[in-house]
Each structure stands twice: as C-alpha cells, then as structure tokens.
Structure 1
Amino acid sequence: MKYIVLKFGGTSLVSPELRERVAGKIIAAKDEGYVPVVVVSAIGREGDPYATDTLISLVKQTYHDLPAREMDMLMSCGEIISGVVMAATLQAMGYPAVFLTGAQAGIITDRNYSGARILQVQAKNVTRYTQEGYIVVVAGFQGTTEDGEITTLGRGGSDTTAAALGVALNAVYVDIYTDVDGIMTADPRIVAEAKALEVITYDEICHLAHEGAKVVHPRAVEIAMQKSIPLRVRSTFSDSPGTLVTNSGEVYKGTIDITKDRIVTGITYISGIAQFIVRIGATGEGLKQQRRMFRALALAGISIDFINILPEVVLFTVKDDVAEKAVKVLENTGYMSEVITGCAKVSAVGAGMSGVPGVIADIVEALTKDDIQILQCNDSHTTVWVLVRREEMEKAVRALHRQFKLDQ
C-alpha cells in the first residue's frame, strides 16, 4: 500500500468550510492512488473554545499547580475533539473514516509528561482499518506509556506524530499542512521579498527550526530523516506544491557545484535574549573559575546559549526572563557581569556554506553597511549566528536576505 500521512494544524480546522477544504485534500490524495492517514492538531489557537491553551486556561482558573499527569489528560482532549469532527466531516461526504487516539494508533512513549518522546509505533490498528477501506484520522500530539498512561509530546507534537507514523508505515510522503506556502527564505512579515523554497535538506530545516523558524518541528524532521521519508510542507489554503524536505543528494541532484548553487538557504531569528560578559582570571585559575561559574548556572536551572570562551572573558546568552536570576547567581558565586538585555540572535543557515570562504565576510559587510552593531558571532558548518540589539533585528534579517540574494 502506498501510504501518505497528511498532518493538519489547528488553523486549518477552525470552521466547517476549512474542514471541507481539508477533506478535499485528503480525497485528492486518495484519488491519486495513495492510502491517506490523517493526523490532526487541536482546533484553533488560544481563545478558540477547543484550543489546547484555552483548555489549560480553564483548569488554571481552578488550580494553578495541576499535576503533570492530569494536565496531559486535559491537553489531549483538544485533538480528540478535532479528530472526531474531522472523521465526521469525511463520513458526511460519503467516505468511510475512523478516528483513533494516539494510544489506539499505537504511539508508545516514555513517561515524561508534557514532553514525552516516542519509543515505538505499533501501527497494527492503523493498517487494519486502512486495509478495510477506512480513512484513518489520528489524534496528533498524544500517546501512551506501556502501562496505559496518557502523555503529550510537547509543542509541535502533532508534527512528530505524523513523522513517526510515516516511518512506521514506510510512507511515500509525510505532508505537513500549515497556513503558509512552504518553508520561506525568511519571515515574510519582516522580508516582503521572502520566497518559498522548492526543496531543502533535513539538516537545513532542523537548523532553521532550532533557530526560530516555526513551520515544522525539528523532532519531526529528525524522525523522518532516520528512514529518509520525504516531508512536504504545504499550505491548506492553496494548491502550491510547497517545500520538499529530503536528503542533500536529492536537493543538489544535477548541480555542478553546490557552493555556486546555494550557499545560504534561509535567515531566521530568536528575540528576547540577554548577553552576559563575564571577566575572569587567565591561565589555570581562569579555567577553574569558568567551571565553577557554569556549574552554578546549571544548578540554578539556567540554560545558556551562544557561548564564546576566551582566556580572560566569557560571553554567553540567556533568555531575557531569567537574566535577573542569572545576575544574582553569578554575584553569589563571586562574579560581576556586564549584561545587555533586549538582544536577538539572527541566523544564516545553509548546507552549502560548509568549507566556503567569505561567508563571514559577507555577513559582516552586509550588517556594517546598514550600521548594525554585531555584539557576538559564532558559526558551525551549516549556520552562522550573530547577536544584535532587538531594535536592529528586522533590519539585520533584511540585510542578510538581500546580501545572499535569497529573493532570486
């Protein structure tokens, strides 16, 4: 059987008209010879009656510290409502459909409530119903422990459900439907000239997602990559083919020189960051101080990022909302720090930059030309990060998008 997994987000399901549009895409896949398995998120977003955040707000009015087990049971309700309604939509159009919870679909997880990881997928119910001619609709975002406890997979968990089912079923494609036409070269709210990419590598989309792009969850990409299941990021609201996410061999097939084809794939950003500059002693004593400082921050539960360690100074970032706590931890450990709040990390991502000279020079040139101060810089084989002030973030995104000609 030629399985295809189609995942639809909450904004695609908020009205009967949109659900009929979704049903049309499912039926079109069936008419093309695929066996569709549908994964749904909860209907709508915060404020909508059945959205997950709305359900959380409801219970927190009664008791703010609801145990994680009960919270997961509550959070799983949105996808159950959504899945039953979607199955009913297909049935009303004359297509046999059946709804399965995450547990019924065989999504087995660990016991990490609100952030569970999938351990295995036992898809026998899914395959049985599809063999009987049903369109199977599965609740995304949820699973069960081996002893039957309901769990949820964390933000973006429906993407993860779809990818895991795709791997278990050896699907031809996993289609992630959203409200945009695919993976964009930059946030179109910031860069009017941003374009949807036709194709991108697993590695590139993982880096874009980790660095702020919110179209597809990186865990879903990592799961699909394990079995080279192609992902397609598509729009519910158009007939655009979207963006194909696959391995680098497929992306660059037929090109003569990757370095001349696409050095940078996209520009993304994360705001709400504070930079810390801590001056320490040099030589062996400095190494002891670094170790003591990082251990103190870790014991306080403060996650640090964007780390540059020099002989007499250490630079790193934390989220703005824990900056004050980090200052106190450092003071109590005997360190004074210089702190710049209200920063943003802007990232240029591209598999084609590995080993290519001049990428950093191009980035510095673009930002300097627009009088944007670089507070910090770091790189890996596929990503270059720069730290800038928040008020210059959007200008920096546009400058880099223009420098690497991503609108062409």
Structure 2
Amino acid sequence: MKFLVQKFGGTSVATPQGREMVAAKVVAAKEEGYMPVVVVSAMGRNGDPYATDTLINTVKQINRNVSPREMDLLMSCGEIISGVVMVATLEKMGHPAVFLTGAQAGIITDNNFTEARILRVKPEAVLKHAREGKIVVVAGFQGISEEGEITTLGRGGSDTTAAALGVALNAEYVDIYTDVDGIMTADPRIVSDAVAREMVTYDEICQLAHEGAKVVHPRAVEIVMQKNIPLRVKSTFSDAPGTLVTSSGEVYKGTIDITRDRTITGITQIPNVVQFKVNTNGGEGLKQQRRLFKGLALAGISLDFINVYPDQVVFTVKEEVAEKATQVLENTGFVAEIIPGCAKVAAVGAGMTGVPGVMASIVDALAKENIPILQSSDSHTTIWVLVRQEDMERAVRALHRQFISGA
C-alpha cells in the first residue's frame, strides 16, 4: 500500500463546508491510488465550542491549578470529537472510515504531561483497518504513555502526530493542510505581495518555524527528515499546489549556483520580546557570567538572541517572563538595562551561506526606513535583527522588498 498521511488543522474541520472540502481532498488521494491516513486537530479556535483553548478556559474558570494529568484528559477531547465527526462525514459520502485515538493508533509517548514526546509508534491497528479498505482517521496532538496515561504533545502536536505516522508507515508524503496556500515568503497579513514558495529545504522550514512562521511545527519536520519523507504544505480551501519540503539536493537539483536561484527564502517575525543588557565587568567577568546564566536557568527562564562580551551580556526573553527575569537578576546582584517592546525579525535562506553582502543589504533596507537595529546575530541560514515592536511590520516589509518582491 502507498500511504499518504494528510493532516488537517482546526480551521479546516471547523465547519460542515470545511469538512466537506477535507473529505474531497481525502477521496481525491484515494482515487489517485494512495491509502490516506487522516490526522485531525480539534475543531476551530478559541471561542468555538470544541476548540482546545475553549476546553481549557472552561476548567480554568473553575480552578486555574488543575493538574497536568487532568488537563491532558480534557485537552484530548477536542480531537476525539473532531475525528468522529470526520468519520461521519466520510461515511455519509459512501467511504468506509474508522476513527482511532492517539493511543489506539499506537502513539507511545513519555509521561511529560502537556508536552509529551513521542517515543515510538506501533501502527498495527492503522495497518489492520487500512487492509480492510477503511480510511483511518487519527486524533492528532495526543498519545499514551507506557504507564497507560493519556498525554498531549504540546502546541503543533497534530503536525507531530502526522509526521510520526508518516515515518512509521513509510508514507509517500506527509501533507499538512492549513488555511494558506503553502510556505509563504512572509506573513501575508503584513506583506500583501507575499507568495508561496514552490519548494523549501527541511532546514529552511525548521528555521522559519522556529522564527515565527506558524504553518508547520519544526518538530514534525525533524521527524520526517529521519526517513527523508517529503512533506507538503497545502491549503484545504484551494487547489494551489502548495510547498514541497524536502532535502536541499532536491530543492536545488540541477542548479549550478544556488545563489542565482534565491538567497532568502522568507522573512519572519516574533513580537513581544524584551531585551536585557547586563554589565559583567570587573576582574571576574567569566565568574559573573556563569552566575548570571546559572541563576536564570535555575529559575526556568529561556533566553534567546544571546550575545556575550568580556564585560556585558545581552539577551532577550519573552514578554511574559520579563518581570521574573528582572527579579532573578536583582536577587543575584545584577543591574540590567531593560528595553521592552521589541521584536525579532529574521531573514532565512539556505542560499545565503557563503554569500557576501547579505548583512549589508539588511542594514541598507532598514536604514532606508530609519529603523534602528538594536541587536543582530547570524547562522549559516539565518540573520536575525532586533527592532522596536512599532517598527516590526515596516522591517518585515522592507526586507521582503529588498530580497524577494523587489529582487
């Protein structure tokens, strides 16, 4: 059997019209000779009756300190409702289908409630029903621990479920269906002329996802990379071809110089971050820095955008933990210059490796818009700049114009 794993997000399955479009995609795959395995998220978004956030808010109104174990039992309900409704939709159209929870589908996880990691997949039940000619619909975002406890996989967990099943079934493709036409060159809500990329590399999409693009979870990409299974990002609501995510060799096949193809694949942004500048001068700079980082780590504060100098450490944190970070620094004797209201903007592209002048072009684009750069860093595939939050959208548009739409 040629398996095709198709994952549909909450907006895709939220309405009867959307579910009919989902069913049409599934049936089309079957008619093309694939055995579709369908992974569904909970229906809708916060405020919709069966959305995960709605379920969470229902119990949080009673008690904000419900245990993670009970929260996982509650959060797993959304995908179960969605999956059964999807089976009903397919069977109404004359296509035999069966629903499996994450546990029934063999998604075995660790016991880290609300943020579980998949340990392995035992796909025997999926294979059994597929051999019987049934379309298998699986609840995304959930699994079962080795102790028999229901667990959930954290945000983006349905993508992870689809990827893990794709690897376990040696699928031809893993398709992630969303409400956009593929991996966009920028957020279309900010850049009106953003377009979908035809192909991107695994590394590029991982970086784009880590830096704010929300189309696919980076953990899912890392999983399909294990067997080099192609991943496609498509829209439920159109027939656009979408974006193929595969190895760099496939993306740049036949290209003599990839820099002539493209330098930058996309521009992303992460809002609501706070910059800290901490002086660590004196004769014991390294000891001071060790004490600083250890204190923040023990407090469970995740740092980003870290620059370390002989007499200063610069880093950012998410806005919601800035007050806690400030308290930790004060309690350990450090004085910090704090700049709230910042945003991280990234230019991502495998084609920038070894290409001179990329940073010069970034500085040039932002200078034309009078946007100060508060901090910068780079890797082989990404250059990050920190800007004021009020400048974020202008910065994204300026970089998109510099590297993509105006190129």
With normalisation by structure 1, the TM-score equals 0.98
In structure 2, give the amino acid aligned to 1:74.
L
Map of 2:280 onto structure 1: 280
The 5 Å alignment of 1:75-114 reads 75-114=75-114
Q: Give the drift of 1:62.
A: 2.1
**Contact map agreement 1:117 1:153 (CA 8 A) in 2:** yes
Tell me, in whole angstroms, the C-alpha distance in 2 between the residues paired with 1:321 and 1:38. Answer: 36
1:158 equivalenced with 2:158 (yes/no): yes
Q: Deviations over 1:270-301 (max 9, x none)?
A: 01111111122155x11111111111111222
> What are the ranges of 5 or more consecutive residues in structure 2 without an aligned counterpart?
none
Tell me, in whole angstroms, the C-alpha distance in 2 between the residues paired with 1:97 and 1:210. Answer: 35
Q: Give the drift of 1:405.
A: 2.5
Map of 1:2 onto structure 2: 2
Provide the aligned C-alpha RMSD in A.
1.0
The 5 Å alignment of 1:24-39 reads 24-39=24-39
Map of 1:298 onto structure 2: 297
1:326 equivalenced with 2:325 (yes/no): yes
Q: Deviations over 1:57-98 (max 9, x none)?
A: 111222221111111011000000000010011111111100
Map of 2:40 onto structure 1: 40
3-state SS, counterpart of residue 103 of structure 1 = coil
Map of 1:365 onto structure 2: 364
**Contact map agreement 2:264 2:404 (CA 8 A) in 1:** no
Tell me, in whole angstroms, the C-alpha distance in 2 between the residues paired with 1:333 and 1:9. Answer: 45
Tell me, in whole angstroms, the C-alpha distance in 2 between the residues paired with 1:268 and 1:154. Answer: 22
In structure 2, give the amino acid aligned to 1:44.
G
Q: Give the drift of 1:124.
A: 0.6
In structure 1, give the amino acid aligned to 2:294.
R
The 5 Å alignment of 1:386-397 reads 386-397=385-396
1:194 equivalenced with 2:194 (yes/no): yes
Tell me, in whole angstroms, the C-alpha distance in 1 between the residues paired with 2:243 and 2:261. Answer: 17
Q: Deviations over 1:119-150 (max 9, x none)?
A: 00000110110111000000000000122110
With normalisation by structure 2, the TM-score equals 0.98
Tell me, in whole angstroms, the C-alpha distance in 1 between the residues paired with 2:138 and 2:325. Answer: 43
In structure 2, give the amino acid aligned to 1:17.
Q
**Contact map agreement 1:265 1:406 (CA 8 A) in 2:** no
Tell me, in whole angstroms, the C-alpha distance in 2 between the residues paired with 1:373 and 1:282. Answer: 30
Tell me, in whole angstroms, the C-alpha distance in 2 between the residues paired with 1:396 and 1:384. Answer: 13
Residues 310 and 74 of structure 1, relative CA distance in 2, 3 Å threshold = same
Tell me, in whole angstroms, the C-alpha distance in 2 between the residues paired with 1:286 and 1:64. Answer: 42
Tell me, in whole angstroms, the C-alpha distance in 2 between the residues paired with 1:246 and 1:211. Answer: 19
Tell me, in whole angstroms, the C-alpha distance in 2 between the residues paired with 1:2 and 1:401. Answer: 39
Q: Bigger CA drift: 213-222 or 251-260?
A: 251-260
The 5 Å alignment of 1:113-262 reads 113-262=113-262
The 5 Å alignment of 1:255-270 reads 255-270=255-270
In structure 2, give the amino acid aligned to 1:180.
V
Tell me, in whole angstroms, the C-alpha distance in 1 between the residues paired with 2:309 and 2:348. Answer: 25
3-state SS, counterpart of residue 271 of structure 1 = strand
3-state SS, counterpart of residue 404 of structure 2 = coil
In percent, how many aligned pairs have the same letter?
72
Tell me, in whole angstroms, the C-alpha distance in 1 between the residues paired with 2:74 and 2:312. Answer: 47
1:348 equivalenced with 2:350 (yes/no): no
**Contact map agreement 2:183 2:215 (CA 8 A) in 1:** yes
Tell me, in whole angstroms, the C-alpha distance in 2 between the residues paired with 1:166 and 1:21. Answer: 22
In structure 1, give the amino acid aligned to 2:280.
I
Tell me, in whole angstroms, the C-alpha distance in 1 between the residues paired with 2:405 and 2:297. Answer: 39
3-state SS, counterpart of residue 12 of structure 1 = coil
Tell me, in whole angstroms, the C-alpha distance in 1 between the residues paired with 2:170 and 2:70. Answer: 34
In structure 1, give the amino acid aligned to 2:326.
V
3-state SS, counterpart of residue 404 of structure 1 = helix
3-state SS, counterpart of residue 148 of structure 1 = coil
Size of the aligned set, in residue pairs, is: 407
Tell me, in whole angstroms, the C-alpha distance in 2 between the residues paired with 1:407 and 1:37. Answer: 41
Structure 1 stretches (4+) deviating beyond 6 angstroms? none
3-state SS, counterpart of residue 253 of structure 1 = coil
3-state SS, counterpart of residue 11 of structure 2 = helix
In structure 1, give the amino acid aligned to 2:265.
T
Q: Give the drift of 1:407.
A: 6.1
In structure 1, give the amino acid aligned to 2:275.
Q
Q: Deviations over 1:242-269 (max 9, x none)?
A: 0000000000001120122111100001
Q: Give the drift of 1:406.
A: 4.1
Residues 116 and 180 of structure 1, relative CA distance in 2, 3 Å threshold = same
Tell me, in whole angstroms, the C-alpha distance in 2 between the residues paired with 1:41 and 1:336. Answer: 45
Tell me, in whole angstroms, the C-alpha distance in 2 between the residues paired with 1:246 and 1:240. Answer: 18
Map of 2:384 onto structure 1: 385
In structure 2, give the amino acid aligned to 1:195.
V
Q: Deviations over 1:207-233 (max 9, x none)?
A: 000000000000000000111110100
Q: Deviations over 1:8-64 (max 9, x none)?
A: 011111121211111111000000011000000001111111111111111122222
**Contact map agreement 1:206 1:221 (CA 8 A) in 2:** yes
